[in-house]
Every structure is written in structure tokens, then in C-alpha cells.
């Protein structure tokens, strides 16, 4: 495991919980801060956050005003004829 850690070979490491525990124990033995050392090492393997797509437009095209204008024009035309 130590060789994989030194080579930054994530494929050869066990599950992150075991790697974190090993790094913490090793850091403690060599006089480093266990939590900080494990966090800094494992942070390099965290995938970057996914790009967030822009929000959809809040405006929904509606044909309401166009339909009302057509209805009013038709009603006015009928009223003129009658």
C-alpha cells in the first residue's frame, strides 16, 4: 500500500476508508498531523465538480395575447357587420 501511495497510484489502493486509516497511522508514526495529512493526500483524488448547466428560462412563450387579439378582431368584425 505504501508503494501505491508514494506512486499516487489510486488503482492499487483499497477503498478510501482503508487508505485514509493507513495514511493517518503512518503520519502519526512519522510525527505529522494525521487528519490533515490524510485529507491533503485524498483531496488530490476527488473528481472536480460537474459543470452546472445554466438555469432554464423562466419565461414560457404563450400564445394567450395573440389569441385574445385575434378573438377581439373577429368580434369587432362581426359587430361591424351586424
Q: How many CA atoms lie within 13 A of 19 on its CB side?
A: 23
Residues of the domain holding 36: 1-46
pLDDT value at residue 35: 93
Burial class (CB in 10 A: 0-12, 13-18, 19+), 38: buried
Separation of alpha carbons 18 and 11, rounded Å? 14
3-29 pLDDT, tens digit per residue, is: 988 888 888 988 888 989 999 999 999
Would residue 9 count as lying in a domain? yes
Sign, CA dihedral 48-22-40-44, equals negative
Query: pTM here?
Result: 0.52
Let me know if residue 55 belongs to a domain.
no
Domain count along the chain = 1
Is 24 inside any structural domain? yes
**Does a structural domain hold residue 10?**
yes
Q: Is residue 42 domain-resident?
A: yes
Does residue 2 form part of some domain? yes
Amino acid at each position: 500500500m505504501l508503494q501505491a501511495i508514494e506512486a499516487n497510484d489510486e488503482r492499487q489502493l483499497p477503498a478510501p476508508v482503508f487508505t485514509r486509516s493507513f495514511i493517518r497511522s503512518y503520519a502519526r508514526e512519522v510525527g505529522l498531523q494525521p487528519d490533515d495529512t490524510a485529507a491533503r493526500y485524498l483531496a488530490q483524488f476527488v473528481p472536480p465538480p460537474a459543470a452546472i448547466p445554466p438555469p432554464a428560462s423562466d419565461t414560457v412563450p404563450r400564445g394567450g395575447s395573440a389569441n385574445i387579439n385575434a378573438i377581439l378582431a373577429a368580434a369587432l368584425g362581426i359587430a361591424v357587420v351586424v
